[in-house]
Chain A
Amino acid sequence: MREITYKQAIQEALREEMRRDERVFLMGEDIGVYGGAFGVTLGLLEEFGKDRVRDTPISELGIVGAAAGAALLGMRPVVEIMFMDFTTLALDQLANQAAKMRFMFGGKARVPMVLRAPQGAGTGAAAQHSQSLEALFVHFPGLKVAMPSTPADAKGLLKAAIRDDNPVVFIEHKLLYNRKGPVPEGEHVVPLGQADVKRPGRDLTIIAVSAMVPKALAAAETLAGEGIEAEVVDPRSLVPLDEGTILDSVRRTGRALIIHEACRTGGVGAEILARIVEEAFDYLDAPVRRLAGRDLPIPYSKELERQVIPQEEDIVREARRLVRGRADGA
């Protein structure tokens, strides 16, 4: 299969869905000639014109609300928020309007919109441009939350998100944009709510999301060299969450390590851990462990920035501890 980048895969999904359905249109800051701060929409203006690739002023609340309003009338807007951190400016429209309208109105409304935004640290962008906020969205019933880790999942999940009749927060990661992977051409839809086992293994289950998935896979390679076979499960969407795949895996391996970049307290790791303990406690051979970002804003200085979020070596260390009761490789 041909390989394209995560960024290209997202663009391909947008392009194909815009060709397929006239109701799909884009709004965002600098998404036209500039092509988006990370170049995701570069070239779409040329194909679809200013009406469907709408450059907006710096008005996150306004555009997310406008998406909700347009969606209410049957349009299918996809909003790009330049950095995940700026979704906080749009929270009222996302959380109080888009997420709740259908339920509040007794099931009469539909709000088929997508909010895409890149999150994550690693680019030296500091505290206001590096946050991982998935836990926030998971906490608003009515929103769906997708979080792809590979180019193929990015394409397939975005197509599903655009076709979904509910508001979907589509979480991208800056450090994944230029990573390549095989992506099917044309129709390739990954339904929301289906986890993927990225690597099979018998000794422990590593549940990782977004940019932590490639790190977990690299760690699993190292661990395999030491005789530890880690199974890596990527939930791919957090709402709906494919509890079944996670629990099946943990019941087989008896050990679970949950990894995310977002800070630990109140992170989705706590939710996943709780479900494992509630549903698979009897199968556990060791306490479930979490590896997460420190409870801190992301610091600017390069080395500090690296150290406050989980790295491959941390995953290896935690996995060893979980399986062998000690952290060193001996």
Chain B
Amino acid sequence: MQSRRMKLQPVLSLASVALAAALLLVALASYQHAQARLRWLVEVAGKNVLIVQKDDAPGTIVPPGDDLSSFVARLPGYLRYALRAEGGRRPNAFDYYTQYVSEGYFSLRGYRFLKGHPLRQDADEAVVGFGLRDLLGKWVTVKGRRVRVVGVLASMADRGWPDSAVEEVIFLPWRLRRGAPAFFFEFASEPEARAALAPVQGWLKAHGYSNYEALPLANLYGLELRRKLRNVLGGALLWGVLAVVLVAAASLTAFRLARALERIRELGIRRAVGAARRDVLREELAASAAWTAWGLGLGWPLALALAGWFEARTGLSARPTAAATLTAAVGLLALSLAAAYFPARWAARQPPAGAVRGLAASLPQKRLGLAMLGLTLGVAAFAVQLGVNRSAEEHTRRMVGDLSSRTAVYSSFLFVGARSVTDPRGVTPLTYADYEALLASPLAGRIAALAYVEAYLTPLSGPAGRAYAYLRAYEDPYPKLAGAHLLAGRWPEPGVHEAVVGRLLAERLFGANDPLGKTLQALGRSWKIVGVYRGAGEALPGNAASDQLLVLRRDLGGTLPGARGEILVQLRSEAPAGTFEAVGRFLTGRHADPKLAPVRPFTRNDLAPEVRAVLLELAAAYRLLAVVILLLAGAGLAAQTLMIARLETRTLGVLRAVGGSRARVFAELLWPLLAAALLAGAVGTAAGAAVSFLVVHAQEATWSLPWAQLLFVTFAAPLLAAVFAAPPAWQAASVPPAAAMRSE
């Protein structure tokens, strides 16, 4: 019995070290991969480019010309520029959605070609977006002029919103342009581009181009938003990894201390036969390093297996890279040496006489306390992680919009009544009639909520300023579906021409004044403002962004010219897969025009696909870290329980010898552990919640306590203790009394 137990213990210690090494490796690797994803998130196109363009305020303007270009060319870091003019922004004034571009425009914007080549400025040539790829090689008539399509751009759908808008554009030579130019100035670096911003703005102002604005192109790609996201998500990630390391350190220290306690008699004997303190210290450190080396060796394949499993389930790689391996190896070694040092020093300082007298065997409370230290830290780290993640997720949701994943938007990007859109890929105009038909169709049974809204681009003016904004005329429950939250006042009543205004628009029109009760002129009548709302996300299709005005559609008395119809659909949770597509086919079928592109559902995953993807992957990484934390805390606890049980072998033998049953001894061993674990859970949860509060505040995000989860965490500790400590406790309780008494 004795020798079997003697062999089992190193195996278990080695297994837990290997497990710790593997978990640390996987945690570090997933941290590294997730960080790379976050870096990728902010690697947007146009970081070094300034755009100078007409702002969206109404009015005719005289655009700047070569005078601007030659001014910018003298700024430090300037590389080159390109020009673009919009051919199709104004209602009913186009045949195709066109853009006129100068030499070098495609390469400056980083648009790659799928087929063909850029257009020649002096020829009648055109380039088309990915959506119009069928036109390659054909002659088409655009604005009364015949041009040949010589190139097709690669699809931009995965580059984010501003680029996917060029999927259905025809690019024409700059010499044919109508309308105001937009300037794209490229600089050698992002700081130089940013530094050029103020001089350019100053120049525009000084030369009277008040309707022209200069901004970093990256702003159009939501760079600021992405940076914030990266900080929030990266911060949460870092805290997760820190928590893992902390728990690993606590578990290791408690483990080494338990081991030193267990071996105190042995160390005393070694001291008695001549080992100096530093001999003992050196031996303990060497042993710890050796364990770590073995653990790393065995942990590596385990980490690979874990990473493979994790990758298969989540798509996020956790494969240890060379850098992660090196970091984990050095880190674990340092950690294990640090964890071994203090316990070993303590053990070495015990007078050998006391050690051989067996003094250490009378410190059970201390041992239990130590065992619980790792668990308390584990629970605290877990709670920190939960709190920080939760805030990161909420922050993210606020930034990228609030449409639920069961909601899709069907939108006519072009305008109702603009039937002159004869392009093969023109978009189906959606109307109120489509909405009514959908309501009456069998598909309605799968739909939980359905809303119709019409968007009108309209000039607005208030005491503090003017704006060219979207007015959305809606049918309930549009605000709810689109995720608009009322900040003040109430929603409009029908029949009395009331409106609610977005927070940003209200600021622009009314400044610091209270907009409630004021009136606004739009679409030929006046609207009384009865509420202010906060919109969700950016001005994407279907979203009620904060720079818009909402009114009831029935107050318009029918659809007006210039409307863009949108239908929002929220499915029942039990709706079969493919329902979104079925709704799209239904709407397409109602127009039955072979020249129009089919109506596609636009779900929130389409709104900011790469941001969502990163978010999903990071959520997986967070979960991985949480599991790693619990496993580390648990494994540490198991190893310590084993040692406590071994230390108490004599006691257990005596208990058994005087008639204690195996179950009774088991319970006596486990009870104090469970009670202490409950305490550890409560203390850890409280500490973790407090720390997460501080962390979240430091990140300037709002903190909300995930009560249910915290409660779960509190009870996770005793649960963990039961699961991990029961096997070694049972093993100890199963020792035949005779063997226990014999053990020296």
Co-assembled chains A and B: no
Interface residues of B (CB under 8 A from A): none
